[in-house]
Amino acid sequence: MKNTATVEYLGNLRTIAKHNKSGQEIITDAPVDNNGKGEAFSPTDLASTALASCMLTVMGIAARTHKINMDGAKAEMNKIMAENPRRIFKIEIDIFMPENISYSSREKAILTNAAKTCPVGKSLHPDLEEILSIHWCD
């Protein structure tokens, strides 16, 4: 089995992760509040951002299936950390749907359900609080 990714520790609390199929790379840095420089995504930033990205991706799959246009939708994510043990405590995600599109109640239900059933969200610990707000333009 081929590995999905390879991660190398570069020193000074920095890593580089390489997606083996595409060759794309991501650098991580420890956050300032955990002895790092905060010059790149932290690993917990990536975990939290993965949730927002997954939600938009699964919404996109549902949109394609049901012929709903959501091109240009954007998500903003806020990660809140807890101590003892240090962990992601809460992820707040605001999804902003395109301003020039009006969605029916059926389309809103399809896209909302898709966001709430993304695989990353289903993989996170149940104690992690996820707050999702979808901003429709009507």
Residues 36-93: tens digit of each pLDDT: 999 999 999 999 999 999 999 999 999 999 999 999 999 999 999 999 999 999 999 9
Instruction: Tell me: do 94 and 128 sit in the same domain.
Output: yes
Q: Report the helix count and the strand count for the chain, using DSSP H and E.
A: 3, 6
If one counts the domains in the chain, the total is: 2
Shared domain for 64 and 103, answered yes or no, is yes
User: Do 89 and 60 lie in a common domain?
Assistant: yes
Whether 120 and 62 share a structural domain: yes
pLDDT digits (tens, 9 = 90+) for 10-30: 999 999 999 999 999 999 999
- Quick check: 124 and 51 in contact, CB under 8 A? yes
Identify the band that residue 1 occupies on the pLDDT scale cut at 50, 70 and 90: low
**pTM to 2 decimal places:** 0.92
Q: Residue 72: which domain range?
A: 43-135
Alpha-carbon distance of 50 to 56, in angstroms, equals 10
Residue 88 parent element (H or E): strand 87-96
CATH of the domain at 103: 3.30.300.20
Q: Do 125 and 99 belong to one domain?
A: yes
Q: Please name the helix (run of DSSP H) or strand (run of DSSP E) that holds residue 81, with its range, or none.
A: strand 74-82
